[in-house]
Amino acid sequence: MGIDEIVKLVKDQLEHYNANKIPIEASGRHIHLCYKDIEHLFGKGYELKKKKELSQPGQFACEERVRIIGPKDVIENVIVLGPARSETQVEISLTDCRKLGVKPSIRNSGNIRDTAGLIVTNKDKQITLERGVIIAKNHIHMNLEEATKLNVKDSDKVKVKIHSERPLIFEEVLIRVNDSFKLSMHIDYDEANACNLNKNSYGEIV
């Protein structure tokens, strides 16, 4: 094998390795509000104030914070994420569910049928959710080009090994493919603590 062939082989192997390194993001507790609930909590015609862009294009963290109240306890300063959704959804961890005293439901985002509800307040304004509290199922965002490189398609479920000081494997991780997405795996803080997630950690489909 000539030197040019060796260089090409090494380059191909590195590109394959990098394509399989999936960035991991830990998602803290947050709430997505529908327009109706935004107006109930902040006033008629109110528009959410963007604080910073998130990793997924079009998604952003807002300046607004709310309080969520369960049967047992309260959690303050829950961040609001934008833009507005068609229906309000609260995403928390299993630890948060236990603190609040609400029934945990591990779901894909948007699937809130038969989930728990709670009370959301902003100062003296209040809404009562009949449903919408979920523990978000871990998932991977990617665009079509990234999906092709990883040999997966939308709605596939895969095993992902987290490379960290406490490596572990997550099973049945949902693949979400859309051309507006950017490659990133989302887990919650409970899962991040379980694998001791840090800036050097990454995921690999196995």
pLDDT at 20: 81
Tens-level pLDDT at each residue, the chain (206 residues): 555 554 344 444 444 445 689 999 999 999 999 999 999 999 999 999 999 999 898 999 999 999 999 999 999 999 999 999 999 999 999 999 999 999 999 999 999 999 999 999 999 999 999 999 999 999 999 999 999 999 999 999 999 999 999 999 999 999 999 999 999 999 999 999 999 999 999 999 99
Domain boundaries of the chain, sorted by first residue? 21-25+138-205, 28-136
Among the listed residues 95, 54, 49, the one whose alpha carbon sits nearest the alpha carbon of residue 72 = 95
CATH match of 21-25+138-205 with 2.40.40: yes
Which residue matches tokens 């507005």? Answer: 84
Among the residues of the chain, which ranges form H helices?
Answer: 3-20, 35-42, 94-100, 144-150, 189-194
Report yes or no: 65 and 79 within 8 Å, Cβ to Cβ: yes
pLDDT at 13: 42
Enter the pTM of the model: 0.87
Report yes or no: 133 and 119 within 8 Å, Cβ to Cβ: no
Report yes or no: 95 and 109 within 8 Å, Cβ to Cβ: no
CA distance 38 to 83: 11
Report yes or no: 73 and 100 within 8 Å, Cβ to Cβ: yes
- Write out the H or E segment, with its range, that includes residue 170: strand 168-177
